[in-house]
C-alpha cells in the first residue's frame, strides 16, 4: 500500500490552498490502492499443494477518456515468458476492451460513461499455442469505471409554482426545491449540492443546503401579484470546477381582504318622475375595491334617516349599487330629496377589521319631475248600502276625486259594472231601476274619474253597493208535495209533514206560522197542526176514504212569516186517495200514480191514447190530400204557360253580307239612366210593353223593354238570394185572369193597384209579390 505523508505547519496562508488540494489527493490515494497487485486467495486449510492460477490486479478505468487507455494486465502463473501462451477476452461486454494476446495487457478502446454503466464483467482464457489447449480454466473478472464530476445538478420537478397570501410575515415557507446529481455520491463531493438565488432578492431567500424558499419581506398583491425567481444548484459544495443548474419558481400572491371599498364619486345627481311606481330604478352608484373575488364583494346601504323613500340593492355581478324608489314621491309635496349612501365589504376578516373601521360614503341628490297625474280618489274603495225596492233616482252614495296638479283640472265621473246605477258630475250615485236583493245582494261597480283638460288622465276606484233586505216575499212550500191517503185510513193519522222557505234575508232566524182556511176547518176531512218549529203536519179528520166517490182533496194552507210587516201566502196541498192494499202504507201509491191519474183506470187511459193517435192520423191524411189537390189545380199549366223558345236561323251571304242584322246594335252597351221610383218604373215598363206588342225583337224599343225588366228583377226584394232565370211570356188571349196590360188602362198612380193578383192563386204569386211590394211604401 502506498502511504503519502504530508508535513505542513498550521499557517493560515496555506489553509485555503490545502482545502482545495485535499479532494485531488484523495482521488490519487484511491487510484494507488486500486493498482496494488492482489493474488487469488488460496484455501488455508487445504492439505494439498496450492493450485496454479491467474495473476491480476483489480481493474479500474476513468470514465470519459477519449484516448486508448491501459486498464491492467492478465497473467497466468504458468507463463514463463516464452510467448507460448495466448490470452483472450470473452463475454458480451468485451467489445469495449481489447487485450494483447502475448502479454495479457487490457486496453479500453471506447469512451466509457459511468452513469450509463459503472462496471463490466468479462471472462479471461489462456491457451497454450503449442498444444492448442487451455492452460487455465475460464475465469471472470470485473472492470470498474471511476467517476469524474461530469454531470451538473438537475431540477426534476421544474417549473415550480407556489401560492402564498399577501402580506405574509418574514420567514413564511414558500416551497422546497430539490436538485439531483447523476455522479457517484461515493466519490468526493461530486453530489454535494448548495442552493442560492440568482433572481428574487430581496423578496425571497433560500436555505443553501435544503433548498427551502422563504419570504424575506412583506409583499402587497395590489402592487405586484406574481414573482418569478431563479434558483441555482451547484455541486462539489460550490468549489471551483463545480457544475451548476438553474430552475424557475413562479410565486403567486393570493388576496386577503386588506382594502375597503371606496366610492368613485363623492356626489351623484338623479331625477325621478312623480308618476314612477315603487321599485323603479333611479340610478346606479359604484365603489371600487382593490381586492378580488370574495374579498371584493360589497353591500350598499342608505342611512336610516333617508331610507323611507329610497333603497339601494347590490348587483352581485357588477358590484354596483342600484338606487330604487321604495315609495312613490309627490312633486307637489316635495320636489327634491338628499340621501347619503355608504358601502362596506360583505366578508370582513376579524384580524383585518381595523382596515374597515370607517366605511366610505357618498351623497345622492334626487330631483322629482312634475307629471300630469290622474285624479286621486279620497278613499281606496267605497262601500254603500241601500234598501231594496227603493224608487228610481234614489241616492246610493257619493264618491270624490281631486286633481292634485297645480292647474287642478275639473273631474268628470263615469260608472261601469251595472246599468242599475248612474253617477252625476258631482260624484253622487243614484239608482236607475228598482233593486231586488233576491236577484243580487251586492253590486261591484267601478267609478272612473277623468280630467276635463286631459281626458287621457283617468283613475278608477271600486265601489261596492249592498242591497238591504225588506220583507217583500211571502213564504211558500219548500218543495212540491205528493200527498196520499189510504182508503182505510184511521182518524188522526199523519199523512204529510210540510215545511216552508222564505227568499227574504232575515236578521234573525225565520219563523213560519201554518194555518188552513175556515172552510177547511168546518168541512175538511183533514186538519193541520203547527209544530212551532217551521213545520206542520196534516192529519186525517175522519175514518175511511173512497177513491170512486172522491179521489182527490184540495187543502188550502196559509203560511205567515215573522217579518215586518208580516206576509202571508196561500198554498194548496193536493191529497190523493190511494188503495194501499194489505200493507196499509202509502209508499206503494207513487208507483200506482199513473194508473189512477184523475181517477181513471188503465183501460180508459189506453182508449184515450188510441183516439188521440187516430185523430192525428186523420189530420195528416187531410193535409196530404190538400197538398195533392193544390198540385192538380191548374192542369193546363204546361200548355198555356210553358216557355216558348224562338230560333232565328238567318243565313246570309257570308262575312261580306252585313244586311242581315246590325252587329253594332247587338254590342251596344246599356245606357246609364237616372234612378226612378218603383211606381214610375212600373208605368214606363207597361208603356214599353204595349209598344213591344207591335214591333219585332230587333227594334230599340224591345231591347229597352228587356233592360227595364232586368233592372226590375235585380232590384226586386222578393227575388231569391240565388241566381234565377226570369221568364217573361206574352199572355195571349182568353186568360181567366184577364190582361195585365189593357189597352184602355192608364199609367197613373191611382190605377196602379195590383192587389187582385193575390186572389189568382199560386201561379201569379211572383207577380203579386213584384207589383204588391212596389205599392207598400206608399200604402
Residue 424: predicted pLDDT: 93
Using CA atoms, how far apart are residues 730 and 540, in angstroms rounded to an integer? 87
Residue 423: predicted pLDDT:
94
Domain ranges of the chain: 58-146, 154-254, 262-369, 376-468, 476-597
- pLDDT score of 591: 56
* Confidence (pLDDT) at 38: 39
CA distance 722 to 485: 67
Give 508-552 as a DSSP string: S----EEEE-HHHHHH-SEEEEE-SSSEEEEEESSS---TTT--E
In CATH terms, the superfamily for domain 262-369 is: Cadherins (2.60.40.60)
Where would I find the beta strands (DSSP E) of 346-472? 360-369, 376-377, 382-387, 395-398, 401-402, 411-416, 421-423, 428-431, 442-451, 458-468
Higher pLDDT, 20 or 222: 222
Q: What is the pLDDT of residue 30?
A: 47
What CA–CA distance (Å, rounded) separates 299 from 287? Answer: 10
Q: Which distant-in-sequence residues (6+ apart) come within 8 Å of 594 by Cβ?
A: 605
- The CATH superfamily label for domain 476-597 reads Cadherins (2.60.40.60)
Q: How many CB atoms lie within 10 A of CB 84?
A: 15
What does the alpha-carbon distance between residue 600 and residue 301 come to, in Å, rounded to a whole number? 95
User: For the chain, how many residues are written?
Assistant: 779
What does the pLDDT read at residue 466?
Answer: 92
**Is the distance from CB of 316 to CB of 298 less than 8 angstroms?**
no
User: And the C-alpha cell for 646?
Assistant: 224562338
For residue 719 the three cell numbers come to 227575388
pLDDT of residue 772: 64
Average pLDDT over residues 680-698: 50
Please tell me the predicted confidence (pLDDT) of residue 745: 47
Instruction: Name the more confident of 667 and 751.
Output: 751
Higher pLDDT, 12 or 670: 670
Q: What would the pLDDT profile of 628-643 be if each residue is shown by its tens digit?
A: 776 655 454 444 444 4
User: Where are the alpha helices (H) located in 36-102, listed in sequence order?
Assistant: none
**DSSP line for 676-697:** --HHHHHHHHHHHHHHHTTS-T
By the 8 A CB rule, do 369 and 331 touch? yes
Q: Assign domain 154-254 to a CATH class.
A: mainly beta
pLDDT at 97: 85
Lowest mean pLDDT among 108-117, 208-217, 677-686: 677-686
Other CB atoms within a 10 A radius of the CB of residue 652 amount to 11
Name the residue among 305, 291, 388, 394 with its Cα closest to residue 348: 291
B/e letters for 96-117, b = 16+ CB within 10 Å, e = fewer, are bbbbebeebbbebeeebebeee
Work out the mean pLDDT of the chain and round it to a whole number.
Answer: 77
Q: How far apart are CA 478 and CA 498, in angstroms?
A: 8
Pairing relation of β-strands 160-165 and 244-254?
parallel
3-state helix, strand, coil in the chain (%, to 5): 20, 30, 50
Q: What is the pLDDT of residues 323-375, one digit of tens each?
A: 999 988 888 888 889 999 999 988 877 777 776 777 888 999 999 988 888 88
Q: Annotate 198-248 with three-state secondary structure.
A: EECCCCEEECCCCCEEEECCCCCCCCCCEEEEEEEEECHHHCCCCCEEEEE
Query: In CATH, what is the architecture of 58-146?
Result: Sandwich (2.60)
Residue 24 pLDDT > 50 = no
Span 527-560, pLDDT tens digits: 899 998 989 999 998 888 888 888 898 888 999 9
pLDDT score at 498: 92
Q: What is the mean pLDDT of residues 66-89?
A: 80
pLDDT greater than 80 at residue 587: no
Radius of gyration of the chain (CA): 67
Q: Residue 393 — φ and ψ, nearest 5°? A: 95, 5
Which of 33-37, 314-318, 716-720 shows the lowest mean pLDDT across its residues?
33-37
- Measure Cα distances from 501 to 388, 453, 474, 498, 657 in Å: 20, 56, 9, 11, 101
Model pLDDT, residue 255:
86
Its CATH architecture, for the domain 376-468, is Sandwich (2.60)
Quote the pTM value.
0.40
113-122, 161-170, 437-446, 553-562: which has the minimum mean pLDDT?
Answer: 113-122
The answer to whether 285 touches 332, Cβ cutoff 8 Å, is no
Amino acid at each position: 500500500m502506498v502511504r503519502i505523508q504530508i508535513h505542513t505547519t498550521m499557517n493560515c496562508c496555506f489553509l485555503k490552498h490545502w482545502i482545495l488540494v485535499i479532494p485531488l489527493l484523495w482521488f490519487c490515494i484511491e487510484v494507488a490502492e486500486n493498482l496494488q497487485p492482489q493474488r487469488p486467495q488460496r484455501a488455508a486449510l487445504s492439505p494439498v499443494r496450492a493450485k496454479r492460477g491467474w495473476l491480476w490486479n483489480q481493474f479500474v478505468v476513468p470514465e470519459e477518456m477519449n484516448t486508448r487507455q491501459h486498464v491492467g494486465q492478465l497473467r497466468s502463473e504458468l507463463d514463463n515468458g516464452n510467448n507460448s501462451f495466448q490470452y483472450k477476452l470473452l463475454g458480451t461486454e468485451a467489445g469495449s476492451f481489447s487485450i494483447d494476446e502475448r502479454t495479457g495487457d487490457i486496453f479500453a478502446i471506447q469512451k466509457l460513461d459511468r452513469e450509463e454503466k459503472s462496471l463490466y464483467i468479462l471472462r479471461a482464457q489462456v491457451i497454450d499455442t503449442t498444444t492448442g489447449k487451455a492452460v487455465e480454466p475460464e475465469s471472470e473478472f470485473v472492470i470498474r469505471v471511476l467517476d469524474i464530476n461530469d454531470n451538473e445538478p438537475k431540477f426534476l420537478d421544474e417549473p415550480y409554482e407556489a401560492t402564498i397570501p399577501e402580506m405574509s410575515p418574514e420567514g413564511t415557507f414558500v416551497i422546497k426545491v430539490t436538485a439531483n446529481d447523476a455522479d457517484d455520491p461515493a466519490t468526493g463531493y461530486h453530489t454535494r449540492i448548495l442552493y442560492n438565488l440568482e433572481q428574487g432578492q430581496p423578496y425571497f431567500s433560500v436555505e443553501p443546503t435544503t433548498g427551502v424558499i422563504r419570504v424575506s419581506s412583506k409583499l402587497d398583491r395590489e402592487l405586484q401579484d406574481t414573482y418569478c425567481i431563479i434558483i441555482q444548484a451547484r455541486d462539489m459544495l460550490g468549489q471551483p470546477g463545480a457544475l451548476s443548474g438553474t430552475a424557475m419558481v413562479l410565486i403567486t400572491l393570493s388576496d386577503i381582504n386588506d382594502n375597503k371599498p371606496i366610492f368613485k364619486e363623492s356626489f351623484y345627481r338623479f331625477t325621478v318622475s312623480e308618476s314612477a311606481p315603487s321599485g323603479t330604478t333611479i340610478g346606479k352608484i359604484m365603489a371600487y375595491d382593490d381586492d378580488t373575488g370574495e374579498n371584493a364583494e360589497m353591500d350598499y346601504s342608505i342611512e336610516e334617516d333617508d331610507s323611507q323613500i329610497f333603497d339601494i340593492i347590490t348587483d352581485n355581478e357588477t358590484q354596483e349599487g342600484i338606487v330604487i324608489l321604495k315609495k312613490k314621491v309627490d312633486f307637489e309635496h316635495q320636489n327634491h330629496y338628499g340621501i347619503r349612501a355608504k358601502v362596506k365589504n360583505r366578508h370582513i376578516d376579524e384580524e383585518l377589521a381595523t382596515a374597515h373601521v370607517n366605511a366610505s360614503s357618498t351623497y345622492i341628490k334626487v330631483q322629482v319631475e312634475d307629471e300630469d297625474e290622474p285624479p286621486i280618489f279620497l278613499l281606496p274603495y267605497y262601500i254603500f248600502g241601500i234598501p231594496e225596492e227603493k224608487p228610481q233616482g234614489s241616492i246610493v252614495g257619493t264618491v270624490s276625486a281631486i286633481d292634485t296638479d297645480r292647474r287642478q283640472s275639473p273631474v268628470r265621473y263615469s260608472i261601469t259594472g251595472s246599468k242599475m246605477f248612474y253617477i252625476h258630475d258631482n260624484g253622487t250615485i243614484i239608482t236607475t231601476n228598482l233593486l231586488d236583493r233576491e236577484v243580487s245582494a251586492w253590486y261591484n261597480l267601478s267609478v272612473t274619474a277623468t280630467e276635463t283638460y286631459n281626458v287621457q288622465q283617468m283613475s278608477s276606484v271600486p265601489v261596492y253597493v249592498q242591497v238591504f233586505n225588506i220583507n217583500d216575499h211571502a213564504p211558500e212550500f219548500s218543495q212540491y208535495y205528493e200527498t196520499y191517503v189510504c182508503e182505510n185510513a184511521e182518524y188522526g193519522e199523519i199523512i204529510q209533514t210540510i215545511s216552508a222557505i222564505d227568499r227574504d234575508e232575515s236578521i234573525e232566524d225565520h219563523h213560519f206560522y201554518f194555518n188552513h182556511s175556515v172552510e177547511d176547518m168546518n168541512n175538511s176531512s183533514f186538519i193541520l197542526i203547527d209544530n212551532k218549529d217551521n213545520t206542520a203536519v196534516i192529519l186525517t179528520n175522519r175514518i175511511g176514504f173512497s177513491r170512486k166517490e172522491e179521489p182527490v182533496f184540495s187543502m188550502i194552507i196559509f203560511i205567515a212569516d215573522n217579518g215586518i210587516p208580516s206576509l202571508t201566502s196561500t198554498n194548496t196541498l193536493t191529497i190523493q186517495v190511494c188503495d194501499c192494499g194489505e200493507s196499509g202504507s202509502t209508499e206503494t201509491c207513487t208507483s200506482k200514480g199513473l194508473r189512477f191519474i184523475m181517477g181513471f183506470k188503465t183501460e180508459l187511459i189506453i182508449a184515450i191514447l188510441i183516439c188521440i193517435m187516430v185523430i192525428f192520423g186523420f189530420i195528416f191524411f187531410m193535409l196530404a190530400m190538400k197538398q195533392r189537390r193544390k198540385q192538380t189545380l191548374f192542369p193546363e199549366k204546361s200548355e198555356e204557360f210553358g216557355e216558348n223558345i224562338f230560333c232565328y236561323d238567318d243565313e246570309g251571304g257570308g262575312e261580306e253580307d252585313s244586311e242581315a242584322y246590325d252587329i253594332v246594335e247587338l254590342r251596344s252597351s246599356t245606357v246609364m239612366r237616372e234612378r226612378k221610383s218603383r211606381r214610375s218604373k212600373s208605368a214606363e215598363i207597361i208603356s214599353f210593353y204595349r209598344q213591344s206588342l207591335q214591333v219585332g225583337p230587333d227594334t230599340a224599343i224591345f231591347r229597352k223593354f228587356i233592360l227595364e225588366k232586368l233592372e226590375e228583377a235585380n232590384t226586386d226584394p222578393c227575388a231569391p238570394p240565388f241566381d234565377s232565370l226570369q221568364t217573361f211570356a206574352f199572355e195571349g188571349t182568353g186568360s181567366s185572369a184577364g190582361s195585365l196590360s189593357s189597352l184602355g188602362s192608364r199609367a197613373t198612380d191611382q190605377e196602379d193597384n195590383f192587389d187582385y193578383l193575390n186572389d189568382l192563386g199560386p201561379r201569379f204569386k211572383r207577380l203579386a209579390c213584384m207589383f204588391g211590394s212596389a205599392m207598400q211604401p206608399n200604402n
